[in-house]
Every structure is written in structure tokens, then in C-alpha cells.
Amino acid sequence: TNQHGQKLVYRRHFIEFMSMFDGVNYPIAHDFPAEAIHRITPDDVVTFLNVKAYGVAVPRRHDKPTLARSHKLQFYKTALSSFMLDGRRWDVDLKIGNPTKSKAVNDVIKRIKEFENNGNEGGNTRGNGGLKIGQMPTTGSVKTAA
């Protein structure tokens, strides 16, 4: 993919994330103010990746990542990271930095990679992981699957 094409793909995933994060169907050309980007936390990214892989915000211990493989989640992480305004690793104490560069986000991908390495089939790499606009819960309102 050429550089322009890659940026467009990254933008589509970022718009999808922000649309779910805010519960608004943003157009592809929407520009987000810095404040909107700065309020993204690792928990928000973890929720997005969980829904993409498992179909739920907080998977149960026995849930399997049937919707996306680890390399697809790494791609989503890279796409979101390209729009973060701070390139530093996430500082848990100060709550600043790039939320995609946090241990929590890396642990989601690591957990799915371990699942795949144990001879399990991960999810497909097509589709949107079953997400709909407005489905992503905001921090503090994440619900677990029953």
C-alpha cells in the first residue's frame, strides 16, 4: 500500500474508534480537537481491541478471540497510535503519553497471541469485529458479558 493509502486506512480505523468512543457517526474527514484525543485512555483502547477480538468489552476467562487475530489487533493499535499527539509511552501515574503504548494494551495483544500459539485458531481478519456505532462504552460504563 502506498503511503497515502496507508494513511487513509489508518484514518478509517481511527474514525471507527472515535465514533464508537463518542457514540457519534463521524465522517471520514472529521478533524478531532486535541482535547478529544488527549482524553483517550488505555482502557478505551483495550475496550476497542476486546470488542474487535471477542465481541465484548470485557471478555470472560473462557471467551475465545473469534473475531480478530493478534496481528490484526496490532494493526489497529498502530493505526490508532498514528493519531496520538504524544509519542511517549503511557505514564500510568501521570496519565499522559500515548495510550496505545501502555502495558494494558500490549497485554491484550499478548493474550491473544498466546491463545494462537497454543494451537488455537484466532478470529478472522475480515469485517469490523461486530461493532456498531455507539456500541463502545465510555470509561466507567463497561459491561461484562453474562
Instruction: Quickly list H helices, the chain.
Output: 3-22, 34-38, 42-54, 70-81, 103-117
Beta carbons of 105 and 99 less than 8 angstroms apart: yes
> Taking 90 as the threshold, does the pLDDT of residue 2 lie above it?
no
pLDDT band at 118 (very low <50, low <70, confident <90, very high): confident
Q: What is the per-residue pLDDT for 146?
A: 35
pTM assigned to the model: 0.81
- pLDDT single digits (tens) 34-51: 999 999 999 999 999 999
Give residue 80's pLDDT band: very low, low, confident or very high (50, 70, 90): very high
What is d(CA 94, CA 34) in angstroms, rounded to the nearest whole number? 18
